[in-house]
Structure 1
């Protein structure tokens, strides 16, 4: 059973057994004696202790773990023995000869505040990437000017990348081993102002060349493969950062702008209240959308930074789980609101009225026209579902649409009737019928002219629920009808005519209702007799010359003619 001791090393508490403590104490005392007459010895000792504490933390699996003799020996092997180094002014000319670790050092990303212009991000990236800081600054400026991303990326790196303050962190930034020799050397550089001189020493390059020449072909091939894998990994990291950052900016601007405008009731955004059946404020939906879509892209950005920055500090489990909880709550909230919104259109209800039309002067020829509304010039832009916002003569806001269709049918008696069916959606059949009943639609009679409104209105409280109106005019047999051009875009599909004239072209001719309920053309040209849909896919013509059929598609062209000469069939293949 070993006795344990609590020690404070670089302001970090460690549990260490007594035997390991005694060895570490002797080691630190020997180092202190070695640097007794060295300028800046206090700073050297502080940096050495900080590096030892960092190495102990890397080897500990949890905070309660006890440091044993094994960990102390491993740390001493990395740091080196004091007697292994020339502790004098010739330290820059003599290389260590002891058992210090020869393991290649991996660079860590820090902000170099010693050479900074703003935050030291670019000068830190110079050490990490090997690219001159001037070019890195130019790249950031170009991205900031043309895309805005350079500014955001610089701010994020400034926040997330730690500053190289201690000597060991500066050695890590340069990729140099953090041992006694290098710590003393860096401290001496600060005191003697020889940083530029030491920076140009190429001993490490020479050593790398010697090492590389002794490598086997397999090792070299392995290094090349690993190099390409690292390049691919860095590219993926940059791509994830670009996607995450740009998406976050777009989502934030979009959601934040809509939410803020809604909170201040900017004109034009009130229309969304007429679409929203949940009565949830737009700003609240914007916040939920910001969390639901923004948090995944934030983690995407964070993953890219983790790939690029090997020593990036973790945001912590508390933040991670808090963001996960916010994301789940936001997704659930939007899902519930979406279901409620969809359920508001689950049912379609109708109300129908049918009336007899009276004509004071009798009816010879019925003139049908569509009457436009004075509200048309007062319609607000930004309609949804075919509806817009308009104002009546009192200044009241109304929902307005021109989604009106009418058809002509045969009357079952000798009178003229009109049927108006109004449709609307709702969360239940009864709710839909109530909304349909609140639709305002009218028509007028002047002489023998039936003027139908080409629009309908309803109160804004009824919200947008696919409100529509269908009008059916029932005419006795032999009633003559003349359609005004204003009916061109409002004729329905159920009106039949004996010439198969397109419904949008019926206003060009006069019609009479026959006993079969089909509108008979009174003034159509003779060559239109029996003519059927002529379009880009061919035609079928039946007249006094016989039957002429031309069938076309994207692959074939087949023509069939039947007349007094017989049947003729011709295709592109024959």
Structure 2
């Protein structure tokens, strides 16, 4: 049978065994002696006793249970052995040596941190519990509040349901650190240091500046709120920059794989367009473009990370200068390729082919334009530029043909085919012009003109085009088929001043002035010109010059 004692520990009533009481009393006395010269000794002892009372309460199954030596030993193990805090060991000679204290990792407890609060300390408390920066938690609440209003409701619930970290033990438990003598002492001393600094600052200030100091504290609070809002905006900007830069980098990477550097999905038609317009391999252009555009966006991506993550490690000066060098080389390479490509269009040249037609005066020459019949395997089906495959041969295809009708100076019907191209110099342009392929045919006084030209794939695209001049003798009839409507130059001379499109579907006769006269145009189309001639003939020119007009103004009718 053991004697029990009733004690009041931190305003909490306990029944404790006499032996356990003696051990607990010695433990508390040893702690008090270890904090003899410590600042805030009474607050430290009070918090330690409150923590011990809390631990005893957790171990009691009912109110009348007696605390034994076992419970005291467990509490001392959690709070720390006295020898760890410069306590005399002879006081605890009957205490069995413990090799290690309890190393079990403590669990975090959720409290509201009112020491670092803006409103209720909810976000600061959650930041400790979740192990993330408080700014992220505040940003999450702001976003959910702006988007749906749900954030403010959750915040109010946390404010009501989550207790405030009022005691030192609760503040330590909130951070997940063990609530022992060392951490309690450290926490209280940190608080005293802060108070001491504030007291010192007040002591050095004159009493007459109290109003000024209160105003300063008010404006400091406003400044803190403004700085917090700036931090939130900066984080939002960082997220936007990060997403934008990442999207561009992923797109560039996909473009690099599809452009020919790594032929992942096979040949793409647009790659062939680049191949015949730029005098450089596609893989080189895509690789230089990837580095020239991608490296700035990589640094933009890194900037977004730096905004979001405060302790992000630097990539190092070696990596920075290496990327800068690669970027400069890529920009210089693209500039050189651009200049070379531009010079390929700096000179014009023309190669001419002539064929005599078996047409004499008063014959009728019919002109028709034919579309491509056998070139069906085309990449783009574009009239201005295309690539066609004829068997195993690839060709550049272009529907750029115009024809012009002129009077023959020697009454000899003939066709001149002018092949035009551009190049880096005259010789290069002339060579490319000669390599242009164009075909036409003549059957029974009918000229069949193709509406397209072709050239070899290796000849590259250099704005090749065809211009045809058809020389017609005097008094020769020219019948223009409807297919010629969009292939005639606009300044063909005719007696009705028709634009080239309107010349089609009519028969014309070449006069001795090089003017085409319509043979089958409706009569009413000539009435206006005929009326003008009649008016001019009805009034002699000498009478027109002698006509006088007299204007009389009656001043009585002028207001």
Q: TM-score scaled to structure 2, two decimals?
A: 0.59
* 1:266 match: 267
Report the CA distance between 1:475 and its aligned residue.
Answer: 0.7
* 1:404 match: 401
Q: Deviations over 1:111-153 (max 9, x none)?
A: x99988xxxxxx63666332569988xx9xxxxxxxxxxxxxx
Output the CA distance in 1 between the equivalents of 2:373 and 2:304: 58
Correspondent of 2:452 among 438, 451, 455: 455
* 1:497 match: 494
**Number of paired residues?**
391
Runs (4 or more) in structure 1 with deviation over 4 Å come to: 81-89, 91-94, 103-106, 112-116, 131-136, 181-184, 190-193, 213-217, 260-265, 541-547
* 2:78 match: none
Map 1:527-546 to 2 at 5 A: 527-529=524-526, 543=532
* 1:354 match: 354
Query: Does the CA contact (< 8 Å) of 2:405 and 2:469 recur in 1?
Result: yes
* 1:288 match: 288
Q: Which runs of 5+ in 2 are unaligned?
A: 1-29, 32-36, 52-114, 119-125, 148-164, 181-190, 199-212, 537-548, 550-559
Q: CA 1:296 to 1:478, structure 2 compared with 1: closer, same or farther past 3 Å?
A: same
Report the CA distance between 1:493 and its aligned residue.
Answer: 2.4
Q: Deviations over 1:412-452 (max 9, x none)?
A: 01110211110111111101101110111122111111111
Correspondent of 1:484 among 462, 481, 485: 481
Output the CA distance in 1 between the equivalents of 2:408 and 2:314: 80
Output the CA distance in 1 between the equivalents of 2:364 and 2:294: 65
Map 1:361-440 to 2 at 5 A: 364-381=363-380, 386-392=384-390, 394-440=391-437
* 1:240 match: 241
Map 1:4-403 to 2 at 5 A: 90=47, 124=132, 128-130=136-138, 185=172, 189=176, 191=178, 216=216, 217-260=218-261, 262=263, 265-266=266-267, 268-269=269-270, 271-272=272-273, 274-280=275-281, 282-359=282-359, 364-381=363-380, 386-392=384-390, 394-403=391-400
Output the CA distance in 2 between the equivalents of 1:472 and 1:485: 19
Q: Which has the higher helix share?
A: 2
Output the CA distance in 1 between the equivalents of 2:402 and 2:302: 56
Query: Does the CA contact (< 8 Å) of 1:413 and 1:476 recur in 2?
Result: yes
Output the CA distance in 2 between the equivalents of 1:350 and 1:440: 13
Q: What root-mean-square deviation, in Å, do the aligned CA atoms of Structure 1 and Structure 2 show?
A: 4.7
Report the CA distance between 1:307 and its aligned residue.
Answer: 2.9
Task: Tell me the secondary structure at the aligned position of residue 239 of structure 2.
Answer: helix
Q: CA 1:93 to 1:236, structure 2 compared with 1: closer, same or farther past 3 Å?
A: farther
Query: Does the CA contact (< 8 Å) of 1:275 and 1:463 recur in 2?
Result: yes
Query: Does the CA contact (< 8 Å) of 2:494 and 2:516 recur in 1?
Result: yes
* 1:509 match: 506
Task: Tell me the secondary structure at the aligned position of residue 419 of structure 2.
Answer: strand
Task: Tell me the secondary structure at the aligned position of residue 452 of structure 1.
Answer: strand
Output the CA distance in 2 between the equivalents of 1:517 and 1:391: 42
Q: CA 1:188 to 1:494, structure 2 compared with 1: closer, same or farther past 3 Å?
A: closer
* 2:517 match: 520
Q: Deviations over 1:246-276 (max 9, x none)?
A: 3223333233332356477525355236424
Output the CA distance in 2 between the equivalents of 1:330 and 1:443: 47
Report the CA distance between 1:377 and its aligned residue.
Answer: 2.0
Q: CA 1:221 to 1:354, structure 2 compared with 1: closer, same or farther past 3 Å?
A: same
Report the CA distance between 1:309 and its aligned residue.
Answer: 3.1
Report the CA distance between 1:302 and its aligned residue.
Answer: 2.2
Task: Tell me the secondary structure at the aligned position of residue 132 of structure 2.
Answer: helix
Output the CA distance in 2 between the equivalents of 1:478 and 1:92: 127
Output the CA distance in 2 between the equivalents of 1:448 and 1:220: 98
Q: Deviations over 1:256-308 (max 9, x none)?
A: 3323564775253552364244232x222222111111111222222233233
Larger radius of gyration: 2
Q: CA 1:289 to 1:382, structure 2 compared with 1: closer, same or farther past 3 Å?
A: farther
Task: Tell me the secondary structure at the aligned position of residue 322 of structure 1.
Answer: helix
Output the CA distance in 2 between the equivalents of 1:93 and 1:215: 38
Report the CA distance between 1:82 and its aligned residue.
Answer: 7.3
Q: Deviations over 1:333-385 (max 9, x none)?
A: 111111111122121211112332124x98611101112222342222276x9
Query: Does the CA contact (< 8 Å) of 1:375 and 1:391 recur in 2?
Result: no
Q: CA 1:389 to 1:92, structure 2 compared with 1: closer, same or farther past 3 Å?
A: farther
